[in-house]
Amino acid sequence: MTSAALSDSDRLRAHVGELLRLAAPVIVSRAGLMVMMAVDTAIVGRYAAQELAYYGLAHLPANIMVGTGVGLLMGTVMITAHALGSGNEAECGRSWRRSIPYALLLGVLFALISLLGAPLFRLGGQSDDLARGGAAVLAVLGLGSPGMMLYITTGFFLEGIKRPMPGMIAMVIGNLVNGLLAWALVWGHLGFPAMGAVGSAWATTAVRWAMGLGLVAYVWWMHDHARWHVRVPVRDWWAGAGKQRHLGYAAGLSIGLESGAFAALGLFAGMISPLALAAYTVGLNLIALPFMAAVGLASATAVRVGVAFGQGDRRDMAMAGWTGLGVTSAILAVVGVLYYTLPEAIGAIYTTDDALLASVAPLIAFGAWILIADGGQTVMANALRGRHDAWVPTALHFVSYAVVMIPVSALLVFGLDRGAKGLFEGILIASVVSVTILSLRFAHLSRR
């Protein structure tokens, strides 16, 4: 039965089922990035609160670069999904081949930027001790950037052809290995010296390279590689990927703006105190962990919207976007209830420091309110990109996070003396603004 012959209830059931089927492994894959950070945060936090401040400071620019890379490479999943929807399987493989050198180029650029940590942190108002400690961690994290970009772009290709399981498996294995390595290198087990936060960075870097190369090897040797033309060379990896990069530029700038805004809030936390920065690191990690489930659902939503757009089915495209928003909101609401009711117990996973726990528990409880709005805005942004509406979501993200969140948070923290909680209040306000205007944009385009 064609989608045109389905009733609205049948369409909805079909969309929910396909969304969850596509999203489940993508959620594990995306959430795995934050699980890796959560495990490292807990291991480093239990080692020393000061080392956690170094770790948190280093991840402010590191997360901007990874997030920007995810956005810049997002054209891979969009072009692949569109090509799949239009029946052009060879173009799916060509999009991946074009993305590999681009991914490596981005990774090398991020690695070079990571060497500038100390002066960047001092310019951001951090103390000399925090700047030196954070810079050492950032430099090691940068070495893993090319491997991370390989993993991201290859995972996007596999998601675009509706084969997300290999990325999930790579991430699960990577997390297990990372946990063991971080435990050994941070605390000095298995014959290694105790390296603190720098040890967790070495563990992450090694695992990122292993995941990236492992996923590339899977695609190269998968049983039906000829169907997708993944071994067919492309000579136009730059010139032939203009539209692919164009979609990625918008997404990269959008995610970069959002990540940069959150990094600015981290600098505000560091200006308050190292304890506030450590609390912000834990609290933001706990928001980011379920947010990765939203990112997985958003990626699946982009694929569903992209396929419907490629088929020219306006009604199916609209239902794909709204289904993604509804399912994401329901899942994050459940997580929010846990955060609101058990903040101390959740915070105790990350630290045994009574002062840090007292600072972070209120942030965890308040974070419950942020989850739904923050998850919803990333789903709607990806729904718009799946429809090839590239630059408007970027502009709307700029308004929400640069124009709204940064100045509002600064006012709450430094003008009204709200402390670290003021940072989270600013995040909530910006997220509500973002999901509202993005949803209105998608509703407008759905009627066209």
DSSP 189-236: -TTPPP-THHHHHHHHHHHHHHHHHHHHHHHHH-TTHHHHTTTS--S-
**Residue 164 counted as domain residue:** yes
Say whether pLDDT at 77 is over 80.
yes
Q: What is the pLDDT of residue 429?
A: 93
Say whether pLDDT at 63 is over 90.
no
- 284 sits in which H/E element: helix 274-311
Q: How far apart are CA 32 and CA 170, in angstroms?
A: 10
Say whether pLDDT at 359 is over 70.
yes
Between 415 and 115, whose confidence is greater?
115
Can you tell me which residue has the tokens 């400690």?
A: 133
Find the domain containing 442 and state its range: 7-446
Q: How far apart are CA 329 and CA 372, in angstroms?
A: 5
**Residue 203 counted as domain residue:** yes
For every residue of 234-246, DSSP letters joined together read: -S-TTGGGHHHHH
Average pLDDT over every residue of 91-110: 93
Given pLDDT bands bounded at 50, 70 and 90, which one contains residue 2?
very low
**Residue 274 counted as domain residue:** yes
The pair of structure tokens assigned to 341 is 């009711």
Say whether pLDDT at 414 is over 70.
yes
Structural contact between residues 227 and 89, judged by C-beta atoms closer than 8 angstroms: yes
Say whether pLDDT at 280 is over 50.
yes
State the average pLDDT for the chain: 86
Cα–Cα separations (whole angstroms), residue 398 to 239, 249, 250, 363, 395: 28, 14, 11, 25, 5
Average pLDDT over every residue of 187-212: 95
**Residue 1 counted as domain residue:** no
Between 32 and 265, whose confidence is greater?
265
CA 354 to chain centre: 30
Q: What is the pLDDT of residue 252?
A: 83
**Residue 92 counted as domain residue:** yes
Q: How many Cα atoms are found within 13 Å in the side-chain-facing hemisphere of 424?
A: 28
The percent of residues above 70 in pLDDT, for the chain, comes to 94
**Residue 2 counted as domain residue:** no
Given pLDDT bands bounded at 50, 70 and 90, which one contains residue 312?
low
Q: What is the pLDDT of residue 159?
A: 86
First to last CA, the chain: 25
Q: pLDDT tens digits, residue range 6-60?
A: 566 766 677 676 666 766 776 777 677 778 887 898 899 888 878 988 998 998 8
Can you tell me which residue has the tokens 């199916």?
A: 316
Q: How far apart are CA 37 and CA 189, in angstroms?
A: 20
- 124 sits in which H/E element: none
Q: What is the pLDDT of residue 1?
A: 44
Q: pLDDT tens digits, residue range 109-167?
A: 999 999 999 999 998 888 889 899 999 999 999 999 999 999 999 999 998 888 888 98
Q: Which of 197-201, 227-231, 384-388 has the lowest mean pLDDT?
A: 384-388
Given pLDDT bands bounded at 50, 70 and 90, which one contains residue 197?
very high
Q: Three-state SS for 408?
A: helix
Phi-psi region of 222 (alpha: psi -120 to 50; beta: other; left: phi over 0): beta
Q: pLDDT tens digits, residue range 229-247?
A: 899 888 888 887 777 888 7
Domain count, the chain: 1
Average pLDDT over every residue of 69-91: 85
Cα–Cα separations (whole angstroms), residue 175 to 35, 55, 146, 149: 7, 18, 18, 17
Q: What is the pLDDT of residue 103?
A: 95
Report which listed range, 3-7, 50-54, 202-206, 318-322, is most confident: 202-206
Q: How far apart are CA 83 and CA 420, in angstroms?
A: 46
Average pLDDT over every residue of 391-416: 87
Q: How far apart are CA 241 and CA 401, in angstroms?
A: 29
**Residue 407 counted as domain residue:** yes
Note the helical H segments in 48-127. 49-72, 75-85, 89-113, 117-123
Say whether pLDDT at 69 is over 80.
yes
Between 433 and 419, whose confidence is greater?
433
**Residue 310 counted as domain residue:** yes
Structural contact between residues 328 and 376, judged by C-beta atoms closer than 8 angstroms: yes
